[in-house]
Structure 1
Amino acid sequence: MSAPRRILVYGVYGSGKSTLAARLADQLGLPWYPVDDLLWQPGWVEVPVDEQRRRIEEICRRDRWIIDGAYHGWRDVPLARADLVVGLDYPRWCSFGRLLRRTVRRVVTGEVICNGNRESLGSVLSRDSILLWHVTAFGRARRRMRAWQADPSGPSVVLLRSPADLDVWLTGLSGPV
């Protein structure tokens, strides 16, 4: 397979989408557009969905990109343009464990994430907790990735079932485009 030029990295919260997108950007020399930076304003204020869609459309019109997620209001946009979808289809225990470790680290260290936002103990314990989002979204994300893979009219889909599978796949991927 020649190196893809437009890549959607997809998976449930905590699966490692952003980490993989950064690795792919380095390995393939493609620009990476972190989705969280496009969707969240300071103070965890969500960008309106129509503006999210406009931003994603602008990126996806380009010839080269990596984005690390696809959400309900604009999921169709990257799917229509992607050369490749990389689905992180890890077991729940793996992605939830990663998310829990990352969330605890961020709360303890006060790490700044998208647009100056930080996770807090209050956000983790709220009804909008990313940990709860993971629990409720896991099955849907998994079914969605598998449906994309089964759809011959869509982009190529690589489903990776473990971090070890990811490492093997990355080893075989072509260099900069």
Structure 2
Amino acid sequence: MERVLVVGMTGAGKTTLARTLSGRLGLRHHEMDALYFTGPNWAVNDKLTEDVSRLTAEPRWIIDSLGYPEVRDLLWDRADTVIWLDYSKRVIMPRVLRRSVRRTVTREAVFGGNRETWTGWLSREHPAWWAWSQHGARRREIERRAHDPRFVPLDTLRFSHPDDTTAWLASL
């Protein structure tokens, strides 16, 4: 595991796992949302492809995201390991709801200094709505990529419950 991509649905714990693995394996961690959202009002990085290309040209890294469409193939082409947090909605939804409520109430700054707001909860782009509505589509996308011959011999570790992930981490 030298070039690791941690994938799964919003709220699965991708960033938390990537940070933990970063420390244990000595891999430089890159948070995809922080690379994508670079400024106020959820401004998007217009050099995302260049930035991700440069970061993934390094010999050792870990990135926590399926990847935004413009860099998705690049990430999957350059990774040697995919860790898939394939958790059910029953696991993900309480996590994403707790996180979003905390961020909204505390006005916690996230990517690019942005904040989740109460009015933001009404948007289809809000993490809670996104996690609920995109769960099936994202799962199918990851499944397809995990079996795509273009990405073989990519080592894919698929965990269907947080307990499985915890047990695997303990075995490292």
The answer to whether residue 70 in structure 2 is matched with residue 73 in structure 1 is: yes
- The one-letter code sitting in structure 1 at the alignment partner of 2:108 is E
Query: What is the Cα deviation at residue 150 of structure 1?
Result: 2.7
Q: 2:167: which partner in 1?
A: 168
Moved more, 85-94 or 127-136: 127-136
Query: What is the Cα deviation at residue 68 of structure 1?
Result: 0.6
Partner residue of 1:46 out of 44, 47, 53: 44
2 CA distance for matches of 1:12 and 1:131?
A: 11
Partner residue of 1:85 out of 71, 82, 86: 82
Q: Which deviations, in whole Å up to 9, do the C-alpha atoms of 1:4-39 show, x marking residues without a partner?
A: 010001111111111111011011111001111110
1 CA distance for matches of 2:168 and 2:145?
A: 19
1 CA distance for matches of 2:139 and 2:96?
A: 16
Q: Give structure 1 stretches of 5+ with no counterpart.
A: none
Query: What is the Cα deviation at residue 171 of structure 1?
Result: 1.7
Aligned length: 168
Q: 1:138: which partner in 2?
A: 135
- Secondary structure of the 1:157 match is strand
- The one-letter code sitting in structure 1 at the alignment partner of 2:171 is G
Q: 1:57: which partner in 2?
A: 53
Q: Give structure 2 stretches of 5+ with no counterpart.
A: none
1 CA distance for matches of 2:32 and 2:145?
A: 20
Q: Structure 1-normalised TM-score?
A: 0.89
Report runs of 4+ in structure 1 exceeding 3 Å deviation: none
User: Does the CA contact (< 8 Å) of 1:145 and 1:159 recur in 2?
Assistant: no
Percent sequence identity over aligned pairs: 36
2 CA distance for matches of 1:20 and 1:42?
A: 25
Q: 2:7: which partner in 1?
A: 10
Structural mapping, 1:93-112, within 5 Å: 93-112=90-109
RMSD: 1.4
